[in-house]
Chains A and B, each alone.
Chain A
């Protein structure tokens, strides 16, 4: 039996449904496995137990935690975009800047944020700004790298052409280089948005009074493992939605930058 799908409409339906079917099958195996081997809830709760735990927490409480995490993740993400794209453009324009900044960026990226987070909290306090900074530290590097890669992707002939026509650097950047960079920037954004959630959660593990990461940690401290799993799933769904939103944004704003279907 091969794994190729039949042709035509059926194929498209199956292709669309397959992630859902796979997900449902996974949940079913999990549920049955937990019941069959009577796995205790504090080791691995069954999906039905997790679902119950999810509805045991008040909706307004979920929203409160969600808002706390989302606020930090999105602000960190936006600030990262605002910082890293200009840095990437500046680095592309000046070799001196590129040589000076690149090692520093690599050092920042390779420093484990988990290790630095407590220091940031001590220096900047335990409020949103330090959590946003922690998120930025995680998200801005993939953005700088993807933007810089994209800008450098521009065919040199086009650059030569624009220079021979005396186009100002500004136009060269925005009208020639940027269109080539857009697909790369968006792949960077997709990585960065999931990292933003991770950053917010890491920050909440170190210092927070609310948020989904805090909720998970808190539930574990009370050995309420089903509740912790419920938080985890909620977080995963939020991550997926944000990831998808970046894709939607690309479809809406730069439809030409998407790879052509079937190509």
Chain B
């Protein structure tokens, strides 16, 4: 009897030791917050998971789907997620309203504005100034809306130069195709989606990116909670290293990126995703990234971004020192 007890104790102890040993070697868990639904432009983090880049760094990354930059920032601020993607403009606007928002931008993904006008070839809209007097449809809550008056002004048009209507994002493409709008406002990452709709009706698609019309700023960025950065700095560094690797891999292997996304989100259309990756990469890899380095958040461009955001949000420029939004420690560790 006693013998059996001793034996079971030994077994229990061995099991416990096994568990302890395992937990010591287990990967560090991270929750990555997307700022929107999965799509080609969000594929790098899926690549990191599927290709084992995070695993190589001893990380176990789970991905949480979000509904807009503000939603993503809120969830990272409240600790539901550790790190994620969000528009740096939304973070600046949030910090200008409430400086205590415990989130920092650590890496730029898009160093160009993704906003653009889309029109059909037959509409005669070719350059940004052609938009004057046209009926333009946009979605109600997109960050693009705040920048619209500035882009118009930058191109010598009055703020009310267009006749603006708002509709659900899903309705914009059909509106453009069936003549409900002369042009629509959307991200260039969606070019493949609108292109297929235009082609289905025998039309061509004209894209006028706002970045080429003077809107120079950082956009989608990797943002992290201050707690994550201060309490698990080493995990954060390893995460960014793997993310940087995933981003480069996505550029070189768009088809594999699409397959990685499809593997985790079976509802996506792999062909469209691959095209989306192609439409997204110029926002990441371009003359700016060649000059400053991938992911860089330079002081001058951060200041420029805040200039635009302050104007767009109608905030006075001294409401925020844009440098307080940035944490470059992870970027420096990458080099």
Contacts and interface: CB of A to CB of B under 8 A. Distances in A.
B267 A223 contact: no
A218 interface: yes
B64 A40 contact: no
Interface string B253-282: 000000000000011110010000000000
B71 interface: yes
A208 B34 CA distance: 12
Nearest to B197: A42
* Interface size of B as a range: 20 to 34
Contacts of A42: 173-174, 177, 197, 200
Contact of B80 (A58, A125, A214, A225): A125
A252 interface: no
Contacts of A215: 267
B91 to A, nearest CB: 16
Interface in A203-224: 205-209, 214-215, 217-224
B267 A218 contact: yes
B174 A221 contact: no
A223 to B, nearest CB: 5
A222 B193 contact: yes
Given A206-B67, A221-B169, A43 B39 contact: no
Interface in B56-75: 64-65, 67, 71, 74-75
A57 B268 CA distance: 10
28 contacts: A40-B177, A40-B197, A40-B200, A57-B266, A61-B266, A61-B267, A122-B75, A125-B80, A126-B75, A126-B80, A206-B67, A208-B65, A214-B65, A217-B37, A218-B37, A218-B38, A219-B267, A220-B168, A220-B169, A220-B170, A221-B170, A222-B39, A222-B193, A222-B267, A223-B197, A224-B267, A224-B269, A225-B170
Interface of A: 40, 42-43, 57-58, 61, 118, 122, 125-126, 205-209, 214-215, 217-225, 227
